[in-house]
Structure 1
Amino acid sequence: MPTSPTSPTSPATANTEATGALQEILLELVDEHGTTIGTAEKLAAHQPPGLLHRAFSVFLFDERGRLLLQRRALGKYHSPGVWSNTCCGHPYPGESPLAAAARRTHEELGISPSLLAEAGTVRYNHPDPASGLVEQEFNHLFVGLVSAAPEPDPEEVGETAFVTAEELAARHAEAPFSAWFMTVLDAARPAIRELTGPSGGW
């Protein structure tokens, strides 16, 4: 159930059981304008029909203008084993989307962007047929540059790849991608083109 907002940057509330501590991760609920209206437990927010919550999506490019993709680890409860953009996630209640994007990119991929810039927002409702969960998200988009090689956390990321726009199109036609991937990519394209230049093909 939704609750009132928690204190800034508080990642979770902890419930202690006999077997140890079970953390309840909270997401920030928002209205259609992106204004915070409360919090909800992460899994509950993704149960049909879904609760609109704040999220972020990151698109990082190397010096050749190639996009860094990740294939989500098979152990993920939501959309396991599918390809997606560099990093996606949810800010903690009270955490800025930019700070969350940088934090989560480092946690999942072991890299820190040399540039990370806001690229607008997009609101969507995407069911995930495989898990039965729903992505009702107000998504903050970020584009940036990366120069270091990824060192993924295997619990989060199964594989990475740098791809050109042409290579992405071929891969997208053959391999499963996250339900939200094309929505966030299309919304970020103006900022991506500004970042990579007209010759990048994005």
Structure 2
Amino acid sequence: MVMPTSPTSPTAANSVSNGTSNDVPDGAAREILLELVDEHGTTIGTAEKLAAHQPPGLLHRAFSVFLFDDRGRLLLQQRALGKYHSPGVWSNTCCGHPYPGEAPFAAAARRTHEELGISPALLAEAGTVRYNHPDPDSGLVEQEYNHLFVGLVQASPEPDPEEVGGTVFVTPGELAERHAAAPFSSWFMTVLDAARPAIRELTGPSGGW
């Protein structure tokens, strides 16, 4: 179900808000509604999560987080086998979707803690990237306007097993080896490449990113 934003639609008015916490829907609706956007990232409505990912996909807001330790290693997560979308594959530290009306920065920090049990010591915006990535295994489509964040982590992950199957810190060389040998999310290289300028600024020229 797609719900366009309209002054005459109480449902839309409740599910798309001005970003304040009081306007975020409660209960199950918070987990199944995504914020639809146009090509400029402007909110145009909401849609159920699964419906937004059915081919050809509906363009919606998302976020991707890249966290590094004090040695400049990137924290990767393996998506839990029980996830309906891209189960068991490796990907960036955390990714997901803001609740309708929730600021992407707040969503990134919230979801990182929910999935990995950690709060970034530093988290900074790293731009946006728009992509269209079909998932060949599930048949679902990632049509996303993705907000990127890079940061530092000083605590050891304590992942939620329902969300995360494993974690590992990797150097650029170790990432290349793992990427060649193991399955990764369809969107991983797109978001990594888009975030590289901010990653290099964070880790320094000697980091190799």
Q: TM-score range by the shorter chain?
A: over 0.9
Residue matched to 1:96 = 103
Aligned pair partner of 1:187 in 176, 181, 194: 194
Please give the secondary structure, in 2, of the residue aligned with 1:153.
coil
Amino acid paired to 2:166: E
Query: How many angstroms apart in 2 are the aligned matches of 1:91 and 1:123?
Result: 16
Query: How many angstroms apart in 1 are the aligned matches of 2:101 and 2:39?
Result: 18
Cα offset, 1:13, TM superposition: 5.2
> Is residue 158 from structure 1 mapped to residue 165 from structure 2 by the alignment?
yes
Cα offset, 1:12, TM superposition: 5.2
Please list the CA deviations of residues 20-58 of structure 1 after superposition, one character each: whole Å capped at 9, or x if unmatched: xxx861000000000000000000000000000000000
The alignment-based identity, stated in percent, is 86
Alignment of 1:23-62 (within 5 A): 25-62=32-69
Query: How many angstroms apart in 1 are the aligned matches of 2:173 and 2:51?
Result: 38
Residue matched to 1:128 = 135
> Is residue 110 from structure 1 mapped to residue 122 from structure 2 by the alignment?
no
Query: How many angstroms apart in 1 are the aligned matches of 2:25 and 2:203?
Result: 36
Scaled by the length of structure 1, what TM-score is found?
0.93
Amino acid paired to 1:89: G
Please give the secondary structure, in 2, of the residue aligned with 1:162.
strand
Residue matched to 2:24 = 9
Aligned pair partner of 1:85 in 92, 106, 109: 92
Query: How many angstroms apart in 2 are the aligned matches of 1:173 and 1:11?
Result: 42
Q: Check conservation: 1:11, 1:92, Cα contact below 8 A.
A: no
Aligned pair partner of 2:174 in 167, 170, 179: 167
> Is residue 148 from structure 1 mapped to residue 148 from structure 2 by the alignment?
no
> Is residue 66 from structure 1 mapped to residue 73 from structure 2 by the alignment?
yes
Amino acid paired to 2:73: R
Structure 1 residue ranges (4+ consecutive) displaced by more than 3 angstroms after TM superposition: 11-14
- Larger helix share, 1 or 2: 2
Cα offset, 1:10, TM superposition: 1.9
Query: How many angstroms apart in 1 are the aligned matches of 2:114 and 2:141?
Result: 24
Query: How many angstroms apart in 1 are the aligned matches of 2:170 and 2:63?
Result: 21
Question: What are structure 1's unaligned runs of at least 5 residues?
Answer: 15-22
Question: What are structure 2's unaligned runs of at least 5 residues?
Answer: 6-11, 18-22
- Root-mean-square deviation (Å): 1.2
Cα offset, 1:2, TM superposition: 1.4
* Structure 2 CA distance for partners of 1:12 and 1:50, relative to 1, 3 Å: farther
Cα offset, 1:9, TM superposition: 2.1
Q: Check conservation: 1:92, 1:100, Cα contact below 8 A.
A: yes
* Structure 2 CA distance for partners of 1:41 and 1:11, relative to 1, 3 Å: farther
Q: Check conservation: 2:31, 2:99, Cα contact below 8 A.
A: no
What is the number of equivalent residue pairs in this alignment? 194
- Larger strand share, 1 or 2: 1
Please list the CA deviations of residues 133-172 of structure 1 after superposition, one character each: whole Å capped at 9, or x if unmatched: 0000000000000000000000000000000001000100
